[in-house]
Amino acid sequence: MADIITSKETLAQAIEKASVMPAPRDVLMANPKYFSVDYVINPHMEGNIGKVNKKKALWQWEVIRDKFRLLGLRVHEMEGVPGFPDMVFTANQSLPFIDQKGQKHALMSIMHSEQRKEEVPYFEQWYRRHGYNVHYLDAAKIPGFEGMGDAIWHHRKQILWGGYGYRSSQLAYETVSEAFEVPIVMLELVHPAFYHLDTCFCVLNEKSVLIYPPAFTNDGLDLIHAAFPTVIEAPEKEAQELFACNACCPDGKNVIIQKGCHEVNKALKQNGFAFHEVDTGEFLKSGGSVFCMKLMLW
Ligand code: ARG
């Protein structure tokens, strides 16, 4: 039975009860050899067709990869594939999971737009080669699900935050909850510039989260506040232009974030986090930054 959490009363209890999930030690990235903006499927891509500086994109990508390595994570590099300019955003094609027996699983996405649908099999192949159990959604029933772009694990707990509204359908989460036997906290997204949950919601550790409030409904904000005692709010400019909330905090202490998010960085520092600025300027043209350029797994 799907366990979908929609009220703050049941949420605190669910978090309390949720089993521990080991910290991810591995990261999957796809190199940006064929990255470009060739079409418009989100508002950030508008006006950017053909505007990517490929050399710059490669340097920026390498700096991020090396940051993950410096933080002690093992980076797996996947080759980019011609014809798939968005494949570099490896958060989107799947949702990985490790169960209580230590078995690894991955649920394959159903990409919302035609242009990205055929990226998914490359990830499926990768999972099969790495000993994962692969799961699927019923494409006849579910219009879309974009993996960790919208489905974000709570810090070290088997409880999932499920964003829906633009790319992922609410329906997908019933299957996710049943396949992985985990409770899911649903968050409706209501601002078109924040089309994935990872553009407006960044789990920092068990007590803290970084969000952009106007991307959520009041009910959603209530759930977020019920789960996290510390809610850092990104100002509009940093959230929308610099993708501040698309930062990544792999270890509960260090935050990798697009450079120039001064207000957010101040708040991060005040709350005991270290921030590491990187330039994702070429990828912002496509509507993505640090979080969506990687997939954390085990
Ligand atoms: N151009 C890509 C798209 O619109 C960007 C994806 C960014 N990914 C993310 N998880 N926010 O699909």
User: Ligand 1 center to residue 154 CA distance, Å?
Assistant: 21
Which atom in ligand 1 lies closest to the alpha carbon of residue 148?
10
Alpha-carbon distance of 51 to 79, in angstroms, equals 22
* pLDDT score recorded for residue 278: 98
| Count of domains forming the chain | 1
User: Ligand 1 center to residue 98 CA distance, Å?
Assistant: 24
Per residue in 76-90, pLDDT tens?
Answer: 999 999 999 999 999
Task: For residue 246, give every residue at least 6 positions away whose Cβ sits within 8 Å of its Cβ, in sequence order, or none.
Answer: 198, 199, 202, 258, 288, 289, 290, 291, 292
Which atom in ligand 1 lies closest to the alpha carbon of residue 246?
11
Res 294 pLDDT > 90: yes
Which atom in ligand 1 lies closest to the alpha carbon of residue 42?
4
CATH number assigned to the domain comprising residue 147: 3.75.10.10
Core vs surface per residue 191-207: b (16+ CB within 10 A) or e: bebbbbbbbbbbbbbee
- The residues assigned a catalytic role are 196, 292
Core vs surface per residue 261-295: b (16+ CB within 10 A) or e: beebbebbeeeebebbbbbbbbbbbbbbbbbbbbb
Contact (CB, 8 A) for 19 and 161 = no
149 lines ligand 1 (CB under 6 A): yes
Contact (CB, 8 A) for 113 and 80 = no
User: Ligand 1 center to residue 19 CA distance, Å?
Assistant: 30
Res 162 pLDDT > 90: yes
* pLDDT score recorded for residue 273: 98
Predicted confidence band of residue 57 (pLDDT cuts 50, 70, 90): very high
Alpha-carbon distance of 56 to 52, in angstroms, equals 8
- Our mutation pick for probing the ligand 1 site, out of 29, 61, 92, 189, counting the most ligand atoms within 8 A of Cβ, is 92
User: Ligand 1 center to residue 89 CA distance, Å?
Assistant: 6
* pLDDT score recorded for residue 287: 98
Alpha-carbon distance of 14 to 20, in angstroms, equals 12
Res 1 pLDDT > 80: no
Mean pLDDT of 107-131: 98
Residue 1, judged by CB atoms within 10 A of its CB (0-12, 13-18, 19+), counts as exposed
At 191, list the tokens.
């601002």
Predicted confidence band of residue 2 (pLDDT cuts 50, 70, 90): confident
At 90, list the tokens.
């490896």
* pLDDT score recorded for residue 79: 97
Predicted confidence band of residue 218 (pLDDT cuts 50, 70, 90): very high
| Residue numbers of the domain that contains 243 | 4-297
Enter the pTM of the model: 0.97
Would you list the DSSP string of 116-170? HHTTHHHHHHHHHHTTPEEE---TTT---B-GGGTEEE-TTBS-EEEEESSSS-T
Listed residue (112, 147, 168, 113) closest to 296, CA to CA: 147
199 lines ligand 1 (CB under 6 A): yes
User: Ligand 1 center to residue 3 CA distance, Å?
Assistant: 28
The CB density around residue 25, as the number of other CB atoms within 10 Å, is: 12
286 lines ligand 1 (CB under 6 A): yes
Predicted confidence band of residue 283 (pLDDT cuts 50, 70, 90): very high
Stated as kind and residue range, the H or E segment containing 233 is strand 230-233
Strand arrangement of the beta sheet that strand 74-78 belongs to: 74-78, 26-30, 295-297
198 lines ligand 1 (CB under 6 A): yes
Contact (CB, 8 A) for 293 and 280 = yes
287 lines ligand 1 (CB under 6 A): yes
Q: Among all chains, which residue has been given the structure tokens 């979080």?
A: 291
Which atom in ligand 1 lies closest to the alpha carbon of residue 146?
10
**Chain Cα centroid distance, residue 109:** 13
Contact (CB, 8 A) for 32 and 62 = no
Predicted confidence band of residue 269 (pLDDT cuts 50, 70, 90): very high
The strand pair at 160-164 and 184-188 is best described as parallel
Mean pLDDT of 192-209: 98
User: Ligand 1 center to residue 171 CA distance, Å?
Assistant: 21
Predicted confidence band of residue 58 (pLDDT cuts 50, 70, 90): very high
Mean pLDDT of 227-235: 98
Predicted confidence band of residue 208 (pLDDT cuts 50, 70, 90): very high
Alpha-carbon distance of 63 to 255, in angstroms, equals 14
Which atom in ligand 1 lies closest to the alpha carbon of residue 150?
10
